[in-house]
C-alpha cells in the first residue's frame, strides 16, 4: 500500500469518525426499519430495533424497569 493510499484511507476514516460524532450529538431519533420495526438510534453504536408489540410490552413495564433500576442502583454501572 502506498503512502497516498494510506493517507486517503486515513482521511476517509477521519471523515467517517466526524460524521459519527455529529450523529451522536443530535440525540436520539426514531425510524421505521426495512422489516417494519421501530428503530431507536442514538443510545449506542447500533440501533435498538423492536416490533411494535415488543415496544408496547416494554413500555408497559416502564414503572417496573424504573423500580428495578432504583433497587439495584448500587450494582449498576453508568456509561460515562
Q: What's the CA gap between 47 and 28, in Å, rounded?
A: 10
Q: What's the CA gap between 19 and 43, in Å, rounded?
A: 16
Instruction: Let me know if residue 23 belongs to a domain.
Output: yes
Question: In terms of residue numbers, what domain contains 18?
Answer: 3-71
pTM equals 0.62
Instruction: Let me know if residue 80 belongs to a domain.
Output: no
Residue 66 has pLDDT above 90, yes or no: yes
Strands 29-32 and 48-50, sheet pairing: unpaired
Grid coordinates given for 26: 443530535
pLDDT at 37: 97
Indicate the average pLDDT of the chain: 90
Instruction: Let me know if residue 52 belongs to a domain.
Output: yes
Residue 20 has pLDDT above 80, yes or no: no
Name the domain count of the chain. Answer: 1
Contact call for residues 4 and 13 (beta carbons, < 8 A): no
Q: Average pLDDT for residues 43-56, to the nearest whole number? A: 95
Q: Average pLDDT for residues 46-51, to the nearest whole number? A: 97
Nearest to 24 by CA among 42, 7, 8, 5: 42
Amino acid at each position: 500500500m502506498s503512502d497516498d493510499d494510506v493517507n486517503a484511507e486515513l482521511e476517509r476514516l477521519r471523515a467517517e469518525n466526524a460524521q459519527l460524532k455529529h450523529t451522536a450529538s443530535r440525540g436520539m431519533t426514531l425510524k421505521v426499519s426495512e422489516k417494519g420495526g421501530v428503530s431507536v438510534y442514538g443510545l449506542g453504536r447500533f440501533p435498538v430495533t423492536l416490533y411494535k408489540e415488543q415496544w408496547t410490552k416494554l413500555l408497559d413495564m416502564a414503572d417496573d424497569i424504573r423500580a428495578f433500576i432504583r433497587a439495584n442502583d448500587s450494582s449498576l454501572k453508568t456509561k460515562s
